Amino acid sequence: MGARTAIGIAMSILGLLLLLFGGYEFNSLFFIDKLTTAADIPSYNGFVVLPYLLGIIALLDGSIALGLKRPFSLSLHLLGNLVWLYALYMLYDNLAIPITDPTAYHQLFLLGFLGLILFVIGVIANGIPKRKVT
Protein backbone atom coordinates (compact mmCIF):
# COMPACT_ATOMS: atom_id res chain seq x y z
CA MET A 1 0.00 0.00 0.00
CA GLY A 2 1.42 3.33 -1.09
CA ALA A 3 1.45 6.62 0.77
CA ARG A 4 -1.32 8.06 -1.45
CA THR A 5 -3.61 5.12 -0.67
CA ALA A 6 -2.89 5.35 3.07
CA ILE A 7 -3.58 9.10 3.11
CA GLY A 8 -6.77 8.61 1.10
CA ILE A 9 -8.07 5.95 3.48
CA ALA A 10 -7.13 8.00 6.56
CA MET A 11 -8.84 11.13 5.19
CA SER A 12 -11.96 9.16 4.29
CA ILE A 13 -12.17 7.62 7.77
CA LEU A 14 -11.59 11.03 9.39
CA GLY A 15 -14.35 12.53 7.22
CA LEU A 16 -16.80 9.80 8.19
CA LEU A 17 -15.97 10.22 11.88
CA LEU A 18 -16.51 13.98 11.68
CA LEU A 19 -19.85 13.47 9.92
CA LEU A 20 -20.93 11.01 12.61
CA PHE A 21 -19.84 13.42 15.35
CA GLY A 22 -21.81 16.29 13.76
CA GLY A 23 -24.90 14.10 13.47
CA TYR A 24 -24.57 12.95 17.08
CA GLU A 25 -24.21 16.52 18.34
CA PHE A 26 -27.21 17.67 16.28
CA ASN A 27 -29.29 14.89 17.82
CA SER A 28 -28.08 15.85 21.27
CA LEU A 29 -28.66 19.60 20.90
CA PHE A 30 -31.92 19.51 18.96
CA PHE A 31 -33.80 16.50 20.28
CA ILE A 32 -32.38 15.87 23.75
CA ASP A 33 -31.48 19.39 24.98
CA LYS A 34 -34.29 21.06 22.95
CA LEU A 35 -32.11 24.06 21.93
CA THR A 36 -34.33 25.58 19.24
CA THR A 37 -34.13 29.37 19.73
CA ALA A 38 -32.05 31.93 17.85
CA ALA A 39 -29.80 32.33 20.90
CA ASP A 40 -28.75 28.69 20.51
CA ILE A 41 -27.29 29.13 17.01
CA PRO A 42 -23.68 29.50 18.27
CA SER A 43 -23.97 26.06 19.91
CA TYR A 44 -24.89 24.52 16.59
CA ASN A 45 -22.06 26.43 14.90
CA GLY A 46 -19.26 24.83 16.87
CA PHE A 47 -20.66 21.38 17.48
CA VAL A 48 -22.71 20.59 14.36
CA VAL A 49 -21.94 22.79 11.35
CA LEU A 50 -18.15 22.96 11.66
CA PRO A 51 -17.54 19.20 12.11
CA TYR A 52 -20.09 18.38 9.41
CA LEU A 53 -18.53 20.66 6.78
CA LEU A 54 -14.98 19.64 7.71
CA GLY A 55 -16.11 16.02 7.46
CA ILE A 56 -17.43 16.62 3.96
CA ILE A 57 -14.18 18.20 2.82
CA ALA A 58 -12.09 15.41 4.44
CA LEU A 59 -14.26 12.74 2.80
CA LEU A 60 -13.92 14.45 -0.59
CA ASP A 61 -10.17 14.81 -0.18
CA GLY A 62 -9.81 11.18 0.80
CA SER A 63 -11.76 9.97 -2.20
CA ILE A 64 -9.81 12.30 -4.48
CA ALA A 65 -6.48 11.04 -3.12
CA LEU A 66 -7.55 7.46 -3.76
CA GLY A 67 -8.48 8.06 -7.40
CA LEU A 68 -6.12 10.82 -8.55
CA LYS A 69 -4.60 10.30 -11.99
CA ARG A 70 -3.50 13.79 -13.08
CA PRO A 71 -1.53 16.51 -11.24
CA PHE A 72 -3.63 19.25 -12.88
CA SER A 73 -6.78 17.98 -11.18
CA LEU A 74 -4.95 18.13 -7.85
CA SER A 75 -4.39 21.88 -8.30
CA LEU A 76 -8.11 22.38 -8.98
CA HIS A 77 -9.01 20.34 -5.91
CA LEU A 78 -6.61 22.33 -3.73
CA LEU A 79 -8.01 25.62 -5.03
CA GLY A 80 -11.54 24.33 -4.40
CA ASN A 81 -10.49 23.36 -0.87
CA LEU A 82 -9.11 26.84 -0.17
CA VAL A 83 -12.30 28.49 -1.42
CA TRP A 84 -14.41 26.02 0.58
CA LEU A 85 -12.38 26.59 3.76
CA TYR A 86 -12.59 30.38 3.41
CA ALA A 87 -16.37 30.15 2.95
CA LEU A 88 -16.49 27.85 6.00
CA TYR A 89 -14.49 30.37 8.03
CA MET A 90 -16.86 33.17 7.03
CA LEU A 91 -19.87 30.98 7.87
CA TYR A 92 -18.35 30.23 11.26
CA ASP A 93 -17.95 33.96 11.95
CA ASN A 94 -21.51 34.73 10.82
CA LEU A 95 -22.99 32.00 12.99
CA ALA A 96 -20.89 32.91 16.03
CA ILE A 97 -22.49 36.36 16.34
CA PRO A 98 -25.34 35.15 15.14
CA ILE A 99 -26.30 37.06 12.01
CA THR A 100 -29.84 36.39 10.80
CA ASP A 101 -29.82 38.66 7.73
CA PRO A 102 -29.99 36.50 4.57
CA THR A 103 -27.86 38.90 2.52
CA ALA A 104 -24.88 38.18 4.79
CA TYR A 105 -24.95 34.58 3.59
CA HIS A 106 -25.18 35.38 -0.14
CA GLN A 107 -21.41 35.72 -0.59
CA LEU A 108 -20.92 32.49 1.35
CA PHE A 109 -23.27 30.71 -1.02
CA LEU A 110 -21.39 32.04 -4.04
CA LEU A 111 -18.02 31.03 -2.59
CA GLY A 112 -19.28 27.57 -1.73
CA PHE A 113 -20.72 27.21 -5.23
CA LEU A 114 -17.39 28.32 -6.75
CA GLY A 115 -15.58 25.72 -4.64
CA LEU A 116 -18.05 23.08 -5.84
CA ILE A 117 -17.50 24.09 -9.47
CA LEU A 118 -13.72 23.78 -9.01
CA PHE A 119 -14.19 20.32 -7.51
CA VAL A 120 -16.38 19.23 -10.44
CA ILE A 121 -13.92 20.58 -13.02
CA GLY A 122 -11.14 18.73 -11.19
CA VAL A 123 -13.16 15.50 -11.29
CA ILE A 124 -13.84 15.96 -15.01
CA ALA A 125 -10.15 16.69 -15.69
CA ASN A 126 -9.18 13.61 -13.70
CA GLY A 127 -11.66 11.42 -15.60
CA ILE A 128 -10.46 12.30 -19.10
CA PRO A 129 -8.52 9.31 -20.40
CA LYS A 130 -4.82 9.78 -20.98
CA ARG A 131 -3.67 9.78 -24.55
CA LYS A 132 -1.61 6.74 -25.46
CA VAL A 133 1.69 7.64 -27.06
CA THR A 134 2.58 5.27 -29.89
- Give the amino acid at 97: I
Contact 123, 61 (CB under 8 A): no
SS3 37: coil
pLDDT tens readout for residues 61-98? 888 788 877 778 888 888 988 898 898 888 888 888 87
Burial of 29 (0-12, 13-18, 19+ CB in 10 A): middle
> What pTM was estimated for this model as a whole?
0.69
pLDDT tens readout for residues 24-68? 998 998 889 988 887 888 888 888 888 988 888 888 888 878 887
Domain residues of the chain, as ranges?
Answer: 3-127
Contact 12, 66 (CB under 8 A): yes
In terms of C-beta distances under 8 Å and separation of at least 24 residues, what long-range contacts does 104-110 make, across chains too?
Answer: none
